[in-house]
């Protein structure tokens, strides 16, 4: 179960490869000043929760082009 505000993040976590999701949420997220915790995106500078209504919202937040789930791989 998830909330409307968490839907986009939870969907992104469940789609694509595990390696890509780990890179996206562990490495790239932190580099951009955010953390994924408890199914939410937290802005590190002030601890605010950033709503993720759609999966594409995560990519926009992180400054990345949207990648379809079936092509999410890491090199």
The pTM of the full predicted model, rounded to 2 decimals, is: 0.86
* pLDDT per residue as tens digits for the range 4-24: 999 999 999 998 788 889 989
DSSP reduced 3-state for 44: coil
Q: Does 70 map to a domain?
A: no
**Count: domains in the chain:** 1
For the chain, the residue count is 75
Q: Does 68 map to a domain?
A: no
Q: Does 20 map to a domain?
A: yes
Read off the pLDDT band of 74 (50, 70, 90).
Answer: low
Per DSSP, the chain holds a count of helices (H) and strands (E) of 4, 3
């Amino acid at each position: 179960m998830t909330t409307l505000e968490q839907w986009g993040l939870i969907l992104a976590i469940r789609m694509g490869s595990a390696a890509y999701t780990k890179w996206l949420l562990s490495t790239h997220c932190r580099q951009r000043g955010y953390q994924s915790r408890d199914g939410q995106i937290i802005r590190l500078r002030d601890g605010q929760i950033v709503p993720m209504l759609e999966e594409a919202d995560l990519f926009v937040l992180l400054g990345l082009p949207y990648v379809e789930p079936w092509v999410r791989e890491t090199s």
